[in-house]
Structure 1
Amino acid sequence: MDSILFIIGIIGNVISVLLFISPIKTFWRIVRSGSTEEFEAAPYVFTLLNALLWLYYGLTKPDGLLIATVNGFGAVMEAIYVVLFIVYAADHATRIKAAKLAAALDIGGFGVVFAATTFAISELDLRIMVIGMICACLNVLMYGSPLAAMKTVITTKSVEFMPFFLSFFLFLNGGIWATYAVLDRDIFLGIPNGIGFILGSIQLIIYVIYMNSKVSHSSNETGEDGWQASDPLLASNA
């Protein structure tokens, strides 16, 4: 059972890494153009917080090495994205807004959770439970972020606003980590990833339904890499 759990965890890590590196093309475009254009900083800031909290959970949990490693990688990648966003912000107001949001959530928010659980909770099992509950709640919000994109697809009858590979890897990521959670009996890992698996399945079904529909030509709203400027990033973590 331990060997099966380890193999599933490795597969989950690979899929999660693919999700974490999925915005690289978007940021390559930002660097080339020297501007963040209409892209939003919030999704990357929230994903960084999500990765930091799961990294903390993995380091706190005695057998959480695989959770810690992938989210450690994710935290590094998301930190790079946030820094690049601040550096290449379209204007000064956007830069200040992004910097304040990152400071409040990624530094202040994570700092509060870390300090409260480290110094106020001495019992390890209770500390793991509290951190896990916080991570699970945040991860549910991350997995729920594609709901707006799915609504757009149904309204426009076009899948240009919902990249296939992102939906596909969301589906795989939720499924593999939900399986890992069942075998490891980790409810905090299982609930959000189970929800992610269901939402990923719905996205793929919607994609199949509308994939042959006529594509709208709203090039002013959609990036050359298929990302709508205002769409949230679906970087989900273990």
Structure 2
Amino acid sequence: MTGNLAHLTLAFGILGNIVSFMVFLAPIPTFYKVYKKKSTEGFQSAPYVVGLFSAMLWIYYAFLKTNVLLLITINSVGCFIETFYICFFLFYAPKKARMESLKLIVLLIVVGFGLIIVLTQFLASGVTRGVIVGWICLVFSLCVFVAPLGVLRQVIKTKSVEYMPILLSVALTLSAVMWFFYGLLLGDFNIAIPNVLGFTFGIIQIILYFKYKNKKPIANEKISEFEAKKYPVSEMQEKKIPEIIDHKTIDVVKLSALMCCDVLPVVARLDENGHDAGHVAIEPQAHPGVPNHIIEVAA
């Protein structure tokens, strides 16, 4: 029975390593965009600094425990990957963002993690040290798992799942399940308890995704309602312009302003004796900045 339990624990630990490794690789598309644009734009370094701090904290805890080698392996990989992300970010970040990132790194990694090691090494010993670090890991993990509440609130408010990718939500949920059972089978509740919250929030994210994935975002609905109030149905149909090159929408007001200048001027035509010979319309020159095929004259 003990042998089966050990094998089951090993299986969940290996699966947890695999899924967590996939989660660590999730930001690669983001950094590929940064590489292509040679700028971090609005991206923040905080998630990667927090990820590095968490991985370092769990490694420290694992060294104070026994039989948690798989906790060391995945978090060692996590430290390497998160460090790479941070260095990549700092290389392409503008000066202001780079300075803010360096301040966060010093505050969290150097000061925060340094104080935890110094205080636990000098003020605690033996089993007590492991218990204290375990509680720190537990509380910090709970805070990390609570962080997605802001995203869930945004999804419910806007009815848009644009910033909540389903694959990442599924991966985080599976990771929480694997590490929960790993901690439960080891009898280590510092590992198991935070993942209960992670699993719960993961399921909520998946439910919200399938609920709102086909919903029209509220922001777009408000714009549509505003246009409907501003223009009657018949007027909207008259002002409607078909999509032309690359499905780009042409502003009705600007196009109408251009059209006002395209009325064909009519001048009198005289014969060789000076008598009126009728009228002729002079075709105007097209605007140099507007293609001829998008100019329409209403009859």
Task: Calculate the TM-score normalised by the size of structure 1.
Answer: 0.87
1:18 corresponds in structure 2 to: 22
**Radius of gyration: which is bigger?**
2
Q: Does 1:101 align with 2:104?
A: yes
Three-state SS of the structure 2 residue aligned to 1:214 is coil
| Partner residue in 1 for 2:272 | none
Which of the numbers 133, 137, 152 marks the counterpart of 2:154? 152
2:184 to 182, 185, 190: 182
State the distance in 2 between where 1:216 and 1:21 align: 32
Runs (5+) with no aligned partner, structure 2: 221-299
Which residue type is aligned with residue 142 of structure 1?
Answer: V
The counterpart of 2:89, out of the listed 54, 76, 85, is: 85
Is contact 1:41–1:85 with CA below 8 Å preserved after alignment? Answer: yes
Alignment length (residue pairs): 216
Structure 1, residues 34-90: CA drift from partner, whole Å, max 9, x if none? 11100111111111101110111112211111111101111111111111111111x
Opposite residue 70 of structure 2, the aligned amino acid is L
Separation of aligned partners in 2, 1:139 and 1:82: 20
Q: Which has the higher contact order (CA 8 A, sep 6+)?
A: 1
Answer whether contact 2:55 2:76 (CA < 8 A) is retained: yes
The CA distance in 2 between the partners of 1:24 and 1:109, in whole Å, is: 27
**In structure 1, the residue corresponding to 2:125 is in which secondary structure?**
coil
Write the distance in 2 (CA, Å) between the matches of 1:32 and 1:60: 43
Shift, 1:160, TM fit: 0.9
Cα offset for 1:98? 0.5
- Which AA in structure 2 matches 1:201? I
Aligned to 1:6: 10
Q: CA deviation at 1:118?
A: 2.3
| Alpha-carbon distance between aligned partners in 2 of 1:119 and 1:13, rounded to the nearest angstrom | 32
For 1:139, give the aligned amino acid. S
Q: Is the 8 A contact 1:57 1:68 kept in 2?
A: no
Contact 1:58 1:66 in 2 (8 A): no
* Matching residue's letter, 2:14: I
Which residue identity is paired with 2:98? R
Aligned pairs for 1:89-238 (under 5 A) are 89=93, 91-123=94-126, 125-214=127-216
Which runs of 5 or more structure 1 residues have no equivalent in the other structure? Answer: 219-238
Do the aligned partners of 1:36 and 1:88 also contact (CA within 8 Å) in 2? yes
Separation in structure 2 between the aligned mates of residue 17 and residue 41 of structure 1, nearest angstrom = 19
Identity, in percent, stands at 38
SS in 2 for 1:213: coil
Root-mean-square deviation over aligned CA pairs = 1.5
> 1:70: which partner in 2?
74
* 1:48 equivalent among 52, 57, 63: 52
Residue 134 of structure 1, CA deviation: 0.7
Cα distance in 2 between the residues matched to 1:78 and 1:215? 33
The alpha-carbon deviation at position 215 of structure 1 amounts to 5.2
The 1:107–1:126 alpha-carbon spacing in structure 2 relative to 1, beyond 3 Å, is: same
C-alpha separation in 1, matches of 2:37 and 2:12 = 40
Question: Does the 8 Å contact 1:143/1:195 carry over to 2?
Answer: yes
Which residue does the alignment assign to 2:286? none
TM-score computed with the length of structure 2 as normaliser: 0.69
